[in-house]
């Protein structure tokens, strides 16, 4: 099942690659059609997923026995939402790429390969396999930015590649080191996550390994001060690239911290709580502050990503039920809202070929539907109650208040700042009278574009109104993470930190 999920996009990519380049008109529609297959599979997975701890639909095949590496896949409440999100956004991103005029075929192929890599990274439960996917993703993304990007695309794509490769290189060394520790302790070599969790490490080694993993994921997230590649990559990337980068690729960082750092290095994770929490909060405030002054709409959304992803990391390292659940659900929320915002900016750019906020004004009058969607996503991103962002940020803040009260209070400023930069941007772009000639003739959203945005908007509303749909599936898995930490260290989640406490403390969130 999961094997099919990972291979379906890869097979689709091969199918598209085999169609002659002359038939340029069929590549994109066929790509979209084929990317519905993984979406169907992911939807089915979500439907049949039992809210239990542990991995479901597990696949465990030997890859190369002497090295102890395996094709080990599984999905739990932490990875399931990411799988569904990925499957959902790829067809949407492809659908938003009709303005790609050169080398459509390669574009579709790379996007589908990217999807295969992302799926693989989210369901891999073998560190070797995870690393393969984690690193392999760089190649299609590198081409997507580098070939179809903007003016400074080459600089941005190489910066993106080298930055992320640097982090993952040290992680590879740490993975080898972990496997070595396992081998010397148990006599057999294995790279399986479940096995490596059993390893006992001395404090120094564990901290080094934690640092190597954390660096790889922190660059990916990206956490301040490792974020400098992100605005470049986002601004230069084509719309589909930006959407997938923000919505899914960056989540590999937050997902990795939650899945691997907490599970493999519980002791070091507990020790690192103040450091990681502080870095996260600096990112929240810094990202928001920089977003306020951005003259470029796309860059503004990019920096808002830095800010919002800080919440996810804060929630992760709060080490409470609320924090972890909030982190996972915020992974989805951020993917939906930021993905949608990048789509919207891309649609605007297709019409007007500029992203500078100053070039717009009064668009509400000429493009009411567009403005409506933009405002809706803005509200979701700010965390307006009733929409999805509220659920996630609320859980994160409540959850982290239990363990990191000062940081939680500072972080809540980030919510206020988000309201400032997003609403101010909305005001400048949309309100007032359209004073520039070019803006008066802009066409409102087409049915195709509405079709792309509507599913996201519906999910935003559903998660906002009925968060239990997701939280019920996430909860058992995040509880299992906490159980693992509590059983392997002295750490005890303070009251009210575990699930029952949070529900009573947080009302009916």
Partner 1 sequence: MQTPDVNWLAIAPDLALALAAAIILLVEVQWKPRARILGLIAAGSLVVSSGLAVVQWVFAADAVAAGTVSELSAFSGMILMDGYAIFGRFALLVVTAMGIASGWQFFGALGRRCAEGLALVLLATTGFSIMVSSNNLIMLFLGLEVGSIALYVLAGLTREDKKADEAAIKYFLMGSFASAIFVYGVALIYAGTRQLTILGIGDFLGSFIVGSPGVILIGIGLVIVGLGFKVSAAPFHTWAPDVYQGAPAGIVGYLAGVAKIAGFAAMARILLTAVSDFDWSFLPVIAGLAVLSMLLGSILALVQSDVRRMLAYSGVAHAGFILTGIAGFSVDGILFYLAVYAVQLVGAFAVVAAVSGPSGSSSDISLYRGLSRRSPVLAGSLTVLLLGMAGLPLTSGFVAKFGVFADAWFNGHEWLVVVAVLASVIAFAFYLRIVVIMYMEDDDAAPIAVPGLVRWVLGIAVLATLIWGILPGSLLNIVADALPL
Contacts with partner 1 by CB under 8 A lie at 63-67, 128, 131-133, 135-136, 138-139, 142-143, 146-147, 153-154, 157-158, 161-162, 165-166, 169-170, 172-173, 176-177, 179-180, 183
Identify which of residues 253 and 497 has a Cβ nearer to partner 1 in the complex.
Answer: 253
In the complex, what is the shortest distance from the CB of residue 485 to partner 1, in angstroms, rounded to a whole number? 27
Residue 163 vs 379, nearer CB to partner 1: 163
Nearer to partner 1, 148 or 370 (CB): 148
Is residue 438 a contact partner of residue 340, using CB atoms and an 8 Å limit? no
Structure tokens that stand for 119 in this block: 């799926």
**Length of the chain (residues):** 509
Cα 423 from Cα 375, distance rounded (Å): 8
CB of 97 to partner 1, least distance (A): 18
As measured in angstroms, the least distance from the Cβ of 426 to partner 1 is: 35
Interhelix angle for 447-465 vs 321-352, to 10°?
A: 160
CB 5 within 8 A of CB 45: yes
The minimum distance between CB 141 and partner 1, in angstroms, equals: 12
- Contact between 126 and 193 under an 8 Å Cβ cutoff? The reply is yes
- Report the distance separating Cα 467 and Cα 446, nearest Å: 31
Q: How large is the greatest C-alpha to C-alpha distance in the chain, in angstroms?
A: 74
Q: Please count the other Cβ atoms lying within 10 Å of the Cβ belonging to residue 430.
A: 23
Min separation Cβ 183 and partner 1, Å: 7
Between CA 338 and CA 356 the distance in angstroms is 18
Task: Closer to partner 1 by CB, 3 or 183: give it.
Answer: 183
Minimum gap (Å) between residue 258 Cβ and partner 1:
22
- Residues β-bridged to residue 61: 71
Nearer to partner 1 by Cβ, of 131 and 374: the residue is 131
For residues 287 and 309, what is the distance between their CA atoms, to the nearest angstrom?
9
Please, is 399 exposed, middle or buried when counting C-beta atoms within 10 Å of its C-beta (0-12, 13-18, 19+)? buried
Question: Quick one: 33 or 62, whose CB is closer to partner 1?
Answer: 62
- Give the Cα separation of 469 and 463 in Å (integer): 7
Measured between alpha carbons, how far is 124 from 52 in angstroms, rounded to an integer? 19
Cβ nearer to partner 1, comparing 245 with 407: 245
Of 276, 273, 306, the residue nearest 288 (C-alpha): 306
Least distance to partner 1, CB of residue 91, Å: 24
Nearer to partner 1, 113 or 357 (CB): 113
Distance CA 229, CA 250 (A): 12
Location of structure tokens 């915002």: 341
- What's the CA gap between 88 and 40, in Å, rounded? 9
Kind plus residue range of the DSSP H or E element containing 70: strand 69-75
When the beta carbons of 192 and 309 are compared against partner 1, the nearer one is 192
| Shortest Cβ 276–partner 1 spacing (Å) | 23
DSSP string, 218-263: HHHTTPTTS-THHHHHHHHS-HHHHHHIIIIIHHHHHHHIIIIIHH
Cis amide bond preceding 148, omega within 30: no
Provide the token pair at 129: 């396999």
Q: Which is nearer to partner 1, 67 or 466 (CB)?
A: 67
Cis peptide preceding 222, ω within 30 of 0: yes
Q: How far is the CB of 115 from partner 1 (least distance, A)?
A: 15
Residue (183 or 354) nearer to partner 1, CB: 183
d(CA 219, CA 134): 13
216 neighbors 137 (Cβ within 8 angstroms): no
Which C-beta is closer to partner 1: that of 149 or that of 346? 149
Q: Are strands 69-75 and 56-64 parallel, antiparallel or unpaired?
A: antiparallel
Smallest separation, CB 262 to partner 1 (Å): 24
- Beta carbon of residue 166, minimum distance to partner 1 (angstroms, whole number): 5
| Nearest distance from C-beta of residue 395 to partner 1, angstroms | 35
Q: Minimum distance between the CB of residue 176 and partner 1, rounded to whole angstroms?
A: 5
User: Would you list the DSSP string of 50-61?
Assistant: -S-SS-EEEEEE
* CA gap 135, 455 in Å, rounded: 30
């Amino acid at each position: 099942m999961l094997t099919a999920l990972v291979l379906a996009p890869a097979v689709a990519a091969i199918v598209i690659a085999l169609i002659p380049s002359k038939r340029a008109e069929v590549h994109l529609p066929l790509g979209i059609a084929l990317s519905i297959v993984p979406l169907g599979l992911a939807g089915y997975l979500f439907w049949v997923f039992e809210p239990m701890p542990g991995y479901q639909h597990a696949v465990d095949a030997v890859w190369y026995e002497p090295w102890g590496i395996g094709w080990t896949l599984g999905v739990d409440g932490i990875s399931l939402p990411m799988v569904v999100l990925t499957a959902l956004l790829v067809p949407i991103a492809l659908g938003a790429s009709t303005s790609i005029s050169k080398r459509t075929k390669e574009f579709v192929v790379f996007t589908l390969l990217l999807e295969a890599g992302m799926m693989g990274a989210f369901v891999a439960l073998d560190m070797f396999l995870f690393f393969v996917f984690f690193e392999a993703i760089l190649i299609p993304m590198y081409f997507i930015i580098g070939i179809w990007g903007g003016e400074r695309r080459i600089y941005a794509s190489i910066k993106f590649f080298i930055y992320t490769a640097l982090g993952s290189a040290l992680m590879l060394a740490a993975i080898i080191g972990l496997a070595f520790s396992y081998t010397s302790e148990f006599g057999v070599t294995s790279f399986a996550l479940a096995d490596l969790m059993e390893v006992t490490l001395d404090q120094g080694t564990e901290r080094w390994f934690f640092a190597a993993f954390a660096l790889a994921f922190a660059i990916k997230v990206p956490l301040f001060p490792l974020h400098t590649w992100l605005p470049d990559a986002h601004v230069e990337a084509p719309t589909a690239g930006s959407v997938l980068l923000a919505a899914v690729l960056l989540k590999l960082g937050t997902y990795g911290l939650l899945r691997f750092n907490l599970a493999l290095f519980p002791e070091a994770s507990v020790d690192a709580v103040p450091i990681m929490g502080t870095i996260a909060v600096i990112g929240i405030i810094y990202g928001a502050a920089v977003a306020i002054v951005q003259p470029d709409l796309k860059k503004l959304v990019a920096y808002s990503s830095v800010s919002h992803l800080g919440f996810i990391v804060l929630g992760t390292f709060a080490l409470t039920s609320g924090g972890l659940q909030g982190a996972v659900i915020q992974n989805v929320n951020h993917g939906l809202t930021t993905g949608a915002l990048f789509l919207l900016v891309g649609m605007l750019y297709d019409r007007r070929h500029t992203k500078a906020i100053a070039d717009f004004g009064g668009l509400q009058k000429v493009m009411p539907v567009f403005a409506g969607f933009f405002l809706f996503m803005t509200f979701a991103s700010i965390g307006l109650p009733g929409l999805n962002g509220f659920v996630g940020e609320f859980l994160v803040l409540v959850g982290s208040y239990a363990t990191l009260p000062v940081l939680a209070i500072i972080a809540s400023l980030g919510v206020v700042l988000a309201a400032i930069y997003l609403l101010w941007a909305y005001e400048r772009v949309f309100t007032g009278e359209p004073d520039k000639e070019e803006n008066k003739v802009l066409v409102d959203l087409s049915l195709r574009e509405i079709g792309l945005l509507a599913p996201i908007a519906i999910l935003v509303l559903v998660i906002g109104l009925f968060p239990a749909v997701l939280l019920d599936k996430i909860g058992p898995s995040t509880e299992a993470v906490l159980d693992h930490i509590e059983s392997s260290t002295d750490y005890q989640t303070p009251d009210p930190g575990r699930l029952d406490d949070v529900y009573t403390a947080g009302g009916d969130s």
